[in-house]
Structure formats: structure tokens, C-alpha cells
């Protein structure tokens, strides 16, 4: 074979993506050989049995096959027939490329959603459909912005440790420098100004030009939900050092305690009246209560970004022509759900409540169950879809070895803490909270048995 690894770019070889790394490859091999595997490695709700929302699939069916509206109108509620007819006219259908930023009708709906989500009696927010880009999942949106910002090896991007490996992998792929800031496990994975400054100065002293800071809120893998004060602190820090902010808000609907509330970076930036700090915010159809990971719908909203830079983002988008159309329609359905008075409203609300309620119950069950296992300690799971417990291992053993041995013996597929980053000398794993409760109980039981035996 004429193409060998030595022909490939250093950046491609350096990129690592633990969530689908060697442990998952081994799990698939074991599965092919007949072993039952419980995939707890990735936040993929429908792969673990979560049902899609009826409204969403009815709409998609009509969008893909408009003749159904004539052939079987009785199969669809009247508001679905009306909305699909409106969207088909406004979009030009699913088989054509859209403009590179994405369908205008969808971007307008996203702008309306942001205004409604973030405005209240004390503040009215603006959102401009021209500053919104529809993407194949949030992943592609994050990658566009990193691609845009990283101009040399010396360009640093601050990312949380532990982090979601999309960030470390993409920074490596685009040839930049990863600058980690640690979240504090003992205070529920809180983010502190001192740590941000420490991380920034350390990078600067190594000759790195820090250009942006990424924040994941609610956190993956930590689940931590940021307060308004914390967000304002990050914005002030970014302003002080001239950094752009990448706000990954894909878990904004996955918040489980009544006392916690999702507050967007866009809202706090507007409240502070800041017009300097460039903000890129991301959202996705893969998480929340939709869990439509396979449809690849996401968006990016840019604030305080100059028209020249926006034009470069549009150019990047145009290189791949446009995001896939099902994903774009999914974004529309996420930001413009049925409203009170519409026929589908109550079914939609019931399905949504059930999914969120179930996730909250699983979050509790998982955290309590993990904390009962000797040698495990897990912060309360207040957001997102994961637990990231600290585990005590026999001297000299790593969490990768632990996860591999666990997989071989029990069929449970986790991601080792090493893949997300962690304080040196500590060991963790990440598991999703997504398996149904009876399966989750089994996972906990198997984990406990394994933990007692593993040396």
C-alpha cells in the first residue's frame, strides 16, 4: 500500500477522540463475537431506548415525503399538516442545497427563540438571523470557530479540564495549542477566576498567545451549571485579556435541580452592555429532550463579531455548501415547538416532561449508586447526561486499564478519565446516565462487584 502513516499530517496523527477511542473499538469487537455490551460511553439517548418526540417525527415525515399530506392526512394532527406546508414553501424542500448559512426561515426562528429565551421584564435581547449559522450538529459549529481562530501553533485555546474531547481533538487537528484550566472537583466542579488567571499566565510564559476560552455550560463530563456571577466573571476575564468566548450550551435543557437555571452567555453579555468580547454560542438537537443525535442539527450564534469575520465564517460554511437539510429542519422544530392552543401542544409537553423527569431520576439514581460503592466518589449530577466519579485504583494502575478490564469482564463500556483530562494522579471514568433505570441498576451492581474484586 502506497499510503502509510508517515505520509499523514502531524495534526491528524495528534488528534485523539476518547469517546469513540480504543475501548469502544474493543466493545464493538466483543459485541460482534456475541457479548452483550451496555454502551455508557456516549451521550446518544435514542441508542439507549429514548423515544423521539412524535411531533418531530411527524413533521420530518411530511418534510421528506410531502405526498403523505394528501395520501394519509388522517395520520397527522392539523397543526402538523399546516406547519409542514408552511415550511415546505419557505424552505424549497429537503432535496436542495440551502444557502450556506442555512435556511433563512430556520435562522429567523432561532433568532426569535434566543430573544424569547433570554429576555424578561428587565432586559430585551436582540438576535440577528444573519449572525446565525446552521451546522451539522454543534460539533461542526465548534470546529468552524476553532478553524477560524487558530492561525499558528502558538495560538492557545483555553479549555476546561476535564473537557469534552471535541475541543482537544479539534485544537490538535487545526494545529493550535491547548491551554487547560482545571475545574475544582471538591466544589462541585466550580470554575474559579484564580485558576483562569493561573492557566493564562502559565501559557503566556511559554510563549503562547491565548486567543479564546471555551466554556461548557452545563458541563460535559461534569454536569456543573454555571451561575450568572460565574458567567460574568468569565466575560470580564475574556475582556481583560482580549479573548473570544466559545460558549457550548448544548445541554441547556438538561438541568435537574429546581434551584438551578440555565443562563446564557448571550444574556449576561447583553446585561453587562459589553460590545467588545466576541461570543460564539452553540446549541444542538442531539441533547436536551430531543436526543436526535443522528439527524445532525446544530447552530452557532455570533455576537460582537465584525462583518469581515462573519464573512469568513460564511465562506468556511460555503466550502461544504450547507448543513444537511434534515438537521436544519430539526433545529427549526427544536426552537419553534408547538404552542399553547395548537393541537400537538399537550402531547409534545407530556413527552418532553416525561423524558426530562426520567433523566432527572436517572441522574439521582446514578450519583447515589456510585457514591455507595467503596472507593468511588461522585459529585451530584445536576446537569447534562453524565457522571464523572473519582475512583481509587490499586497503585500503578490507570483508569484506562480499569475501563478495559471492566469491559472485558462485564460488557460495560465507559470512557476513562484520561480522555477528558484530570488532575495528575487522580483517576476517573465517565458514564452516561442514559440507560433505562433497570439497566442502570444492573450497571451499578456490576460496577460494585467489579470494584471489590479488581486488583
Ligand X SMILES: Cc1ncc(COP(=O)(O)O)c(C=O)c1O
Interface residues toward ligand X, by CB under 6 A: 43, 137-139, 164, 166, 216, 220, 248, 250, 284, 286, 293, 298
Nearer to ligand X, 91 or 220 (CB): 220
CB of 374 to ligand X, least distance (A): 30
The least CB distance from residue 242 to ligand X, in Å, is 25
Q: Quick check: 317 and 133 in contact, CB under 8 A?
A: yes
Task: Give the helix/strand (H/E) hosting 270.
Answer: helix 265-271
Contact 96, 330 (CB under 8 A): no
**Cα angle 174-175-176, degrees, rounded to a multiple of 5:** 100
Nearer to ligand X, 150 or 293 (CB): 293
Residue nearest ligand X, Cβ-based: 137
- Residue 286: CB minimum distance to ligand X, A: 3
Q: Which three cell numbers stand for residue 256?
A: 435537574
Determine if the peptide bond prior to 411 is cis (ω within 30°).
no
State the minimum distance, in angstroms, from the CB of residue 43 to ligand X.
Answer: 5
| Smallest gap from residue 294 Cβ to ligand X (A) | 9
In the complex with ligand X, the residue whose CB is nearer, 76 or 133, is 133
Q: In what order do the strands lie in the sheet with 209-216?
A: 132-136, 297-303, 279-284, 244-248, 209-216, 155-161, 177-182
Contact by Cβ (8 Å): 374, 451: yes
- Minimal distance, residue 47 CB to ligand X, in Å: 12
Q: How far is CA 305 from CA 80, 106, 132, 258, 374, in A?
A: 37, 21, 11, 34, 50
Q: Which helix (H) or strand (E) holds 404?
A: helix 399-410
Q: Which is nearer to ligand X, 84 or 166 (CB)?
A: 166
Nearer to ligand X, 79 or 301 (CB): 301
CA distance 143 to 339: 33
> Closest approach of Cβ 41 to ligand X, in Å?
11
CA dist., res. 113 & res. 356, Å (int): 20
Q: Which is nearer to ligand X, 100 or 254 (CB)?
A: 254
Report the C-alpha gap between 162 and 182 in whole angstroms.
7
Residue 367 in grid coordinates: 450519583
Q: Which is nearer to ligand X, 79 or 136 (CB)?
A: 136
Amino acid at each position: 500500500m502506497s499510503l502509510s502513516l508517515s505520509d499523514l499530517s502531524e495534526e491528524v496523527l495528534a488528534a485523539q477522540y476518547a469517546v469513540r477511542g480504543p475501548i469502544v473499538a474493543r466493545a464493538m469487537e466483543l459485541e460482534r463475537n456475541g457479548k452483550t455490551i451496555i454502551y455508557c460511553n456516549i451521550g446518544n439517548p435514542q441508542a439507549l431506548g429514548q423515544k423521539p418526540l412524535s411531533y418531530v417525527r411527524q413533521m420530518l415525515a411530511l418534510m421528506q415525503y410531502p405526498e403523505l399530506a394528501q395520501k394519509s392526512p388522517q395520520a397527522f394532527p392539523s397543526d402538523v399538516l399546516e406547519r409542514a406546508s408552511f415550511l415546505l414553501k419557505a424552505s424549497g424542500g429537503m432535496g436542495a442545497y440551502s444557502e450556506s448559512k442555512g435556511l433563512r426561515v430556520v435562522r429567523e426562528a432561532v433568532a426569535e427563540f434566543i430573544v424569547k429565551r433570554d429576555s424578561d421584564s428587565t432586559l430585551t435581547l436582540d438576535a440577528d438571523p444573519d449572525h446565525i449559522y446552521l451546522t451539522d450538529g454543534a460539533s461542526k459549529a465548534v470546529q468552524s470557530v476553532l478553524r477560524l481562530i487558530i492561525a499558528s501553533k502558538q495560538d492557545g485555546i483555553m479549555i476546561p479540564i476535564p473537557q469534552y474531547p471535541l475541543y482537544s481533538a479539534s485544537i490538535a487537528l487545526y494545529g493550535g495549542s491547548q491551554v487547560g484550566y482545571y475545574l475544582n472537583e471538591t466544589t462541585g466542579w466550580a470554575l474559579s477566576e484564580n485558576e483562569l488567571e493561573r492557566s493564562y499566565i502559565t501559557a503566556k510564559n511559554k510563549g503562547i498567545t491565548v486567543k479564546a476560552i471555551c466554556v461548557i455550560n452545563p458541563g460535559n463530563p461534569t454536569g456543573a451549571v454555571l451561575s450568572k456571577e460565574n458567567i460574568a466573571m468569565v466575560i470580564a476575564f475574556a475582556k481583560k485579556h482580549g479573548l473570544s468566548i466559545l460558549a457550548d450550551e448544548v445541554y441547556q435543557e438538561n438541568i435537574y435541580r429546581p434551584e438551578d437555571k440555565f443562563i446564557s452567555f448571550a444574556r449576561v453579555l447583553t446585561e453587562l452592555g459589553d460590545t467588545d468580547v466576541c461570543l460564539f454560542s452553540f446549541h444542538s438537537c442531539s441533547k436536551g429532550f430531543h436526543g436526535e443525535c443522528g439527524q445532525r442539527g446544530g447552530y452557532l450564534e455570533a455576537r460582537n463579531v465584525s462583518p469581515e469575520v462573519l464573512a469568513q465564517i460564511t465562506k468556511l460554511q460555503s466550502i461544504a455548501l450547507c448543513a444537511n437539510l434534515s438537521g436544519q429542519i430539526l433545529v427549526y422544530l427544536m426552537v419553534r415547538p408547538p404552542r399553547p392552543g395548537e393541537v400537538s401542544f399537550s402531547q409534545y409537553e407530556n413527552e418532553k416532561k416525561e423524558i426530562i423527569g426520567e433523566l432527572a431520576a436517572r441522574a439521582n439514581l446514578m450519583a447515589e449508586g456510585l457514591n455507595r460503592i467503596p472507593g468511588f466518589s461522585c459529585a451530584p449530577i445536576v446537569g447534562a447526561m453524565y457522571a464523572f466519579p473519582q475512583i481509587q485504583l490499586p497503585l500503578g494502575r490507570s483508569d484506562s486499564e480499569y475501563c478495559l478490564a471492566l469491559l472485558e469482564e462485564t460488557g460495560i463500556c465507559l470512557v476513562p478519565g484520561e480522555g477528558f483530562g484530570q488532575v495528575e494522579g487522580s483517576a476517573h471514568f465517565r458514564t452516561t446516565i442514559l440507560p433505562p433505570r433497570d439497566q442502570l441498576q444492573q450497571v451499578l451492581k456490576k460496577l460494585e462487584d467489579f470494584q471489590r474484586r479488581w486488583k
